[in-house]
Amino acid sequence: MAGGASRYKAAVIIDVSERTLKRWRSECGAVVEDQRPHAARGSQPHQLTHEEEQAILNACNRPEHQSLPPSQIVPLLADQGVYLASESSFYRVLKKHQQQHHRGRMKPRRPVPEPTSFTATGPNQVWSWDISYCSSVVRGQHWYLYLIMDIYSRKIIAWEVHDTEAGELAKQLLERALLREGCWHQPPVLHSDNGAPMTS
């Protein structure tokens, strides 16, 4: 445009509207910068140099720091009168060099398998059970309802009320339910949450 080209042709070439190009000129003065999100940017004035990044890595990989996160390393260095960069810069440098995920004596993430799902196409294939808290009219007195239900038919297979919550009581109820339904040799899948009586 400084060489005499019209604004609308310049806007077509850089694939922006003429109004956008006019707004950029009014905001930036005579020099128009490409302000599109995907435009190539110049170097950042406050970007860490290679030497500064290496100093951060060296500090993080010292024997006394190799098991600590940057949120603890930066204050420890500050106590010694050393300031290399901000905590967020430490995290950014460690992420850039693939050192953020598993460091030192810290245990790696444990793979958690996806929960298994079951589909019931008939009765006595999948049962669900739970223990429900039942209050009473007497203050401080309550009971626990143990209930087993068939997923397919919604039939209540077995239930009992006790004044305690225990895995042994649940085991006895389940054994009686299997005998009553005649599926002792082909037991159904028993679905429950991960409460202490259920896992016991």
- Rounded-to-integer distance, Cα 146 and Cα 180, Å: 16
pTM for the model stands at: 0.45
Domain match, 12 and 62 both: no
C-alpha to C-alpha distance for 99 and 110, rounded to whole angstroms = 18
130 and 171 part of one domain: yes
**Residues 185 and 141 occupy one common structural domain:** yes
Q: Are residues 152 and 185 in the same domain?
A: yes
Query: Do 91 and 148 lie in a common domain?
Result: no
In a domain, 109, yes or no: no
User: Would you say 106 and 67 are in contact if contact means Cβ atoms under 8 Å apart?
Assistant: yes
If asked whether residues 12 and 74 sit together in one domain, one would say no
Considering the domain boundaries, does residue 77 fall inside one? Answer: yes
Torsion sign (Cα): 89, 90, 93, 98: negative
Determine the pLDDT at residue 124: 92
Strands 189-191 and 142-150: unpaired
Distance of CA 142 to the CA centre of its chain: 37
The answer as to whether 130 is a domain residue is yes
Give the pLDDT score at 139. Answer: 87
With CA atoms as reference, report the closest residue to 132 among 200, 199, 193: 193
For residues 135 and 83, state if they share a domain.
Answer: no
Residue with tokens 């397919």: 152
In a domain, 150, yes or no: yes
Distance of alpha carbon 5 from alpha carbon 61, whole angstroms: 56
DSSP H helices, the chain, are 7-13, 18-28, 50-60, 70-79, 87-96, 167-181, 196-199
Locate 172 and state its tokens.
Answer: 């006895």
Answer yes or no: is 159 within a domain: yes
Within a domain: residue 177? Answer: yes
Can you tell me the distance from the alpha carbon of 174 to that of 118, in angstroms, rounded to the nearest whole number? 19
**Which distant-in-sequence residues (6+ apart) come within 8 Å of 67 by Cβ?**
103, 104, 105, 106
13 located within any domain:
yes
Q: Note whether residue 4 is domain-resident.
A: yes
The pLDDT value given to residue 160? 94
- If asked whether residues 137 and 183 sit together in one domain, one would say yes
Q: Is 164 found in the same domain as 134?
A: yes
Domain at 143, CATH number: 3.30.420.10
Q: What is the pLDDT along the chain (200 residues), one digit of tens a residue?
A: 778 888 888 888 878 888 887 777 765 555 556 666 666 666 666 788 889 999 999 999 898 888 888 889 999 999 999 999 999 999 999 988 888 776 656 676 788 888 788 889 999 999 999 999 898 888 888 999 999 999 999 999 999 999 988 889 999 999 999 999 999 888 899 888 877 777 77
Q: How many domains does the chain have?
A: 3
Same domain, 25 and 54: no
The domain of 58 spans 50-96
